[in-house]
Chains A and B, each alone.
Chain A
Amino acid sequence: MKPDSDEKEFETLRKVLQLKRYERPPTEFRSDFMAEFRRRRAEVDEQRRHGLWRLWLWVTPDWAGAMRNVAAAVVALLLCANLVVLHHQRSASQTQIAAIRAPTMTTTPVRAKGPDPVPWPYGSVEPTPKNVAFANSYLLINEYYGQVDPEWSDALAESFDLLFEAARGEWSGETSSLF
Chain B
Amino acid sequence: MANTSILAKVSELTAAPLRESADAALVRRAQKGDSRAFDVLVERYHERVHATVYHMTGNREDAFDLTQEAFVKAYRSIRFFRGQSSFYTWVYRIAVNRTLNFLKKRNRQAAYSLEELDTTIGLDETYRELASHDTPVRGAKLNELGQRLNEALQKLSNNHRMVVTLHDIQGMPHEQIANLMRCSMGTVRSRLFYARRQLQAYLSDFMKP
Interface residues on A, range: 20 to 34
Q: Which of B112-171 contact A (CB under 8 A)?
A: 114-118, 120-121, 124, 126-127, 129-130, 135-137, 142, 145-146, 149, 164, 168-171
Partner of B116 from A10, A21, A24, A44 at Cβ < 8 Å: A24
| Total of A-B residue pairs, C-beta within 8 Å | 111
In the bound complex, how far is the Cα of B203 from the Cα of A41, in angstroms? 43
Spot the interface stretch: B71-79, B97-105, B179-187: B71-79
B43-A34 in contact (CB<8A): yes
B116-A19 in contact (CB<8A): no
A24-B209 in contact (CB<8A): no
Spot the interface stretch: A25-33, A124-132, A144-152, A153-161: A25-33
* B-side interface residues, number (CB < 8 Å): 50
Instruction: Give the top 9 A-B pairs by smallest Cβ distance, nearest first.
Output: A23-B115, A17-B168, A22-B121, A22-B118, A15-B126, A24-B118, A20-B169, A40-B72, A9-B207
- B34 CB–A CB distance under 8 Å: no
In the bound complex, how far is the Cα of B206 from the Cα of A15, in angstroms? 13
Name the B residues within 8 Å of A44 (CB-CB): 72, 75-76
Name the B residues within 8 Å of A26 (CB-CB): 116
Give chain A's interface residues, CB within 8 Å of chain B.
5, 8-10, 12-26, 29-30, 32-34, 36-38, 40-41, 44-45
Given contacts A16-B203, A22-B118, 17 further A-B contacts (CB under 8 A): A8-B209, A10-B196, A12-B135, A13-B203, A14-B196, A17-B164, A17-B169, A18-B126, A18-B168, A19-B117, A19-B126, A19-B146, A20-B55, A25-B50, A36-B68, A37-B68, A41-B39
